[in-house]
Structure 1
Amino acid sequence: MFLGMAVFLVGCAKGGSSLNTVPVKGRVTLDGAPLPGATVTFSPKTPEGRTAAGMTNENGEFVLTTIRAGDGAVPGEYGVAITKPVATAGPVDDPRARGGALTPEQMAQIREQAKTKGGAEGGSAIPKKYTSPTTSGLTATVKRGEKNEFTFDLKSQ
């Protein structure tokens, strides 16, 4: 019994309940127009941070998720990457578009995609510089107790 309780408590400590995330939302535009279907990834600048991501809707608006759908991000400094692969096949089934959550494997794919400069194999629908937090020039500071809303206006040139 004690061992089972210890395993449960360790598991909870690694889950979203101990992360103390705060709500984060925002909007992405490309040359002033909403950018739907883009993935926004907040990559922490410190080792204790956690990656958070969200997908833009038809108005270019996003809500970040760290563990549970819409839970936000851990307060801290972030480099931001925005990706929008050129579709080379049928539409991608993203559970966040229906209010669902990403699996750990999907989050790993998003993190890996944000690290690459070219986005998906089919190319990028936006300038490649925005697809990596190290080259995008986009940053965000998430603060507890403040309105964490960010606007990223990307330029095609």
Structure 2
Amino acid sequence: MRTIICTLFCSLFVCISGCGYGQATPNYDMIDLIDVSGKVTFDGQPLAGAVVSFIDEANSRMSYGITNADGKYQLRFDRQKNGVTPGSKIVKVSTSTVIEGVNDSDVVIDEETGEPKAKELIPPQYNVQSELRALVEEGKDEFNFTLMSSAQ
């Protein structure tokens, strides 16, 4: 009986250790990344503290950037590497998106829902129902967006 329990325990340990709880670091040499930056204005003013997301239309892979006080952003592929893969992207701009470990230091959590309390200042046509698009390709690395609070 002890042998069976020991065998089961060892088998379970081998299975669990083989699963890997962390994500493997990508081989950046195998990924074609283009450094992309730009500026976002909202009603004619630089938009500070917004998350700019470029989402690949083919595979939903997202690169993101946070606008600074001048409305400027630079896209990150992940926490270690700047850039975005080439191709057609859906662009979303949001003041309520929270990225863990990136812009979550001053976030207030709603006690009832457990979700971040952040007011969205940007109209849906620029985020949840985004009409913004970008074609990222070599030599085209700057994307500026002029957003308006009302459709014009």
Quick check: TM above 0.5?
yes
**AA partner of residue 20 (structure 1):** D
> How has the CA–CA distance of structure 1 residues 94 and 57 changed in structure 2, closer, same or farther, with 3 Å as cutoff?
farther
Give the whole-Å Cα distance in 2 for the aligned partners of 1:35 and 1:94: 21
Q: Which residue of 1 aligns with 2:50?
A: 38
Higher fraction of helix: 1
Partner Cα distance (2:101, 2:44) in 1: 25
Q: What code does the residue aligned with 1:42 have?
A: F
Residue from 142, 148, 152 that aligns with 2:141: 148
Question: What amino acid is the match of 1:30?
Answer: F
> Contact 2:95–2:118 (CA<8 Å) still a contact in 1?
no
- Whether 2:125 is the aligned partner of 1:129: answer yes
Aligned with 1:56 (options 64, 67, 78):
67
State the shift of 1:55 in Å. 0.3
Q: 1:32 to 1:24 in 2, by over 3 A?
A: same
Alignment root-mean-square deviation, CA: 2.8
CA contact (8 A) 1:63 1:70 kept: no
Compute the displacement of 1:56 (Å).
0.2
Note closer, same or farther for the CA distance 1:122–1:63 as it changes in structure 2 (3 Å cut). Answer: closer
TM-score, reference length from structure 2: 0.65
Letter in 2 for 1:141: L
Matched to 2:119, the amino acid is G
SS at match of 1:85: coil
Distance across 2 between alignment mates of 1:35 and 1:46: 28
Matches for 1:115-126 after TM superposition, within 5 Å: 121-126=117-122
Contact residue 91 and residue 134 of structure 2 kept, 8 A = yes
Q: Please give the alpha-carbon distance, in whole angstroms, between the structure 2 residues aligned to 1:31 and 1:94.
A: 29
Unaligned runs of 5+ in 1: 1-10, 87-91, 97-105, 107-119
CA distance in 1, matches of 2:94, 2:124: 8
TM normalised by structure 1 equals: 0.64
- Cα displacement (A) at 1:128: 2.7
Q: Give 1 or 2 for the bigger CA radius of gyration.
A: 2
**Equivalent-residue separation in structure 1 for 2:135 and 2:142 (angstroms):** 10
Distance 2:62 2:100 in 1: 21
